[in-house]
Structure 1
Amino acid sequence: MTLKTCSRADGHVRAFPLARTLPLLGALTLLPLTSQAADQATGEDAAGQTASYETTEQAPRSEYLSDWYNQNVTIIGSKNIRFGPQQVDDIYLEYEFFGRKGPWDLYGYIDLPKFFGTGNGADSGIFDNGSPLFAELEPRLSLNKASDMDLSLGPIKEWYLAVDYIFDWGHNSNNRQSTLYAGIGTDIDTHTPVGLSFNFYKRYQGDNYGAANEDQWDGYRAQAKYFLPLATFGNGAKLDYVGFTNYDFGSDLGDRDASRTNESVVATNVLLYSFTHLRFMAVARYFHNGGQWNDDAELNFGDGPFHVRSTGWGYYLGVGWQF
């Protein structure tokens, strides 16, 4: 429910180190969103699976889990998602991965929108001439590890070259998005159980559903990600909080189109309840001018005028299997 940070017109959730959206029903891979939500005390649930694990190079987490590469498949249900001019409800399927290997910090997901054929009137997807695929990739390269040097500075313990690429494979150019964010990333030492990272990107906008800022550098993104372990239970489950906020600014899209804005904010809050494989999540996401749509602007797509509702809350529920 990363998962996962995105500006797609019909809406996506993603994850910490992350979707298409629909009726508050199901699921969201969206966040194992954080590779930091891994190693805690070991417990067992009624099925005998460990909820978390102590890992070494010689002893991976389990026979079926890599010691660094995390994957999951999740059914996601979403409601009131505000990345486009009309709110979207969706139930979709997501594959998500994340992990840390050497200097590489990896996160990404692939969504199959409206995979279960359920959504509101503004929703379309893989089987009804909508987008067959929506993906986001967020690799970061550690400059500390790559240079084998201690580059820490004050509370900044690690520096990265950071990229965030978002792709919506719409059925034509007016239904397609291709956005590249490139910049610098950091991990922050909070001296508390809170995990914190910050990325700052410049944005190159390729396809953007026919918007006026296509094929040019247009604006910036400041991104904060945060993680807090909340509890470990006797049944072997653990409860974590994962959050991230994206602030897009410095665009000139709103100067060219009164229905759009030059800035937007999306703040995502996730409660993740997980065992070794089975996981459940609940997500509340706040949008301010989601997708750079001007809240309360009046539009007409041929079915009569309506007002954009791009500011407010959207929600996701998810159930998934990690392996």
Structure 2
Amino acid sequence: MKKTIIAASLFALGSAPALAADYSDGDRSKNDYKWMQANLMYAVDELPGESSHDYLELEFGGRAGVLDYYGYVDVFNLTNSDSSDKAGEAKMFAKLAPRISLDGLFSTDLSVGPIQEWYVASVYNVNGDSSVNNFSIGLGSDVMVPWLGKIGLNLYSYYDVNAKEWNGYQISTNWFKPVYFFGNGSFIAYQGYLDYQFGYDDSFDALHSSSGGAMFNGIYWHSDNFALGYGLKAYNDVYALKDGGLAGKTSGFSHYIAATYKF
């Protein structure tokens, strides 16, 4: 069962065979799978704010018919320490990123060239006090690229729920590439993601810039039940917040240590 979950995770994140989605037989459930894991994390100099803190992340994903889904919930400052950089801040953060397969919806193969499948893609981000509250929707895809294999590639239009306005766009991609296998079946993987915001209207806004983003690069050891990893995250005006402005430091690097249990 654990190997099945790992295989499903690899399929979702980019190391499956180069097969286009084909639902012309009417079977929309033939690619169904699900996975869930708990990540105990420690961040060093996370931006904005150069915050160092612990947190627990419950991460999940899978496929159910035409619905491809991914998400996580973070719980910060597990010991409720007054000395934590997260003391007095929102305790939780959640990200939900469902995609609806257009290939599955229309029971056909819409693949073209390296693009294996098309989606209506969305992302919802919210934290415990709703100071972060945004929604993005757009066009998603699974794309075969050299060496990495299959990656997710999505283009969104960004909506600020608190301000009740559309403003700017975001392009996101993610990958998972096993690079070395051990004799016992465990392996080392290069995994990560890139989120880049652009086209933000900052004409009358001292807080934001017109663009910005972050890239996470992780090296993780995986077994059936466990994973251990290190991640380096690079920022440039992250969340389109001006570096050195009202948001403080928003460009630079942070480090992450992770210990994972796979359900």
- Residue 311 of structure 1 is matched in structure 2 by 251
SS across alignment from 2:12 = coil
1:236 to 2:160 alignment? no
Q: Deviations over 1:83-119 (max 9, x none)?
A: x3x2111101111101123222110001111123358
Give the corresponding residue for 1:15. Answer: none
Aligned residue in 2 for 1:220: 169
1:174-193 to structure 2, matched below 5 A, reads 176-190=131-145, 192=147
Q: Which runs of 4+ in 1 moved over 6 A?
A: 37-40
Q: Structure 2 unaligned segments of length 5 or more: list them.
A: 1-8, 18-31
Q: Is the CA contact (8 Å cut-off) linking 2:14 and 2:152 kept in structure 1?
A: no
Q: SS where residue 256 of structure 1 aligns?
A: coil
Alignment RMSD: 2.4
**Worse-matched range after superposition: 271-280 or 109-118:** 109-118
Q: How far is the alpha carbon of 1:122 from its aligned partner?
A: 4.3
CA distance 1:223–1:78, shift in 2 (3 Å): same
Matches within 5 A, 1:269-280: 269-280=217-228
From the two aligned structures, give the one with the greater strand fraction.
2
Structure-1 residue corresponding to 2:43: 78
Deviations 1:136-193 (A, max 9, x none): 00111111112111111222121001011001111xx6xx211101001011123655
| Structure-1 residue corresponding to 2:240 | 292
Secondary structure of residue in 2 paired with 1:153: coil
Matched, 1:116 2:91: no
Cα distance in 1 between the residues matched to 2:189 and 2:36: 18
Q: 1:144-223 residue pairs with structure 2 within 5 A?
A: 144-170=103-129, 176-190=131-145, 192=147, 194-207=149-162, 214-223=163-172
The CA distance in 1 between the partners of 2:41 and 2:83, in whole Å, is 15
Which residue, 65, 70, 75 being the options, matches 1:102? 65
Tell me, yes or no, if the aligned pair for 2:197 and 2:239 is still in contact at 8 Å. Answer: no
Q: Which amino acid aligns with 1:36?
A: L
Number of residues of Structure 1 aligned to a counterpart in Structure 2: 241
How much has 1:239 moved relative to structure 2? 1.1
Distance 1:39 1:187 in 2: 11
Deviating more after overlay: 197-206 vs 187-196? 187-196
Secondary structure at the residue paired with 2:104? helix
Mapped contact 1:88–1:120 kept (Cα < 8 A): no
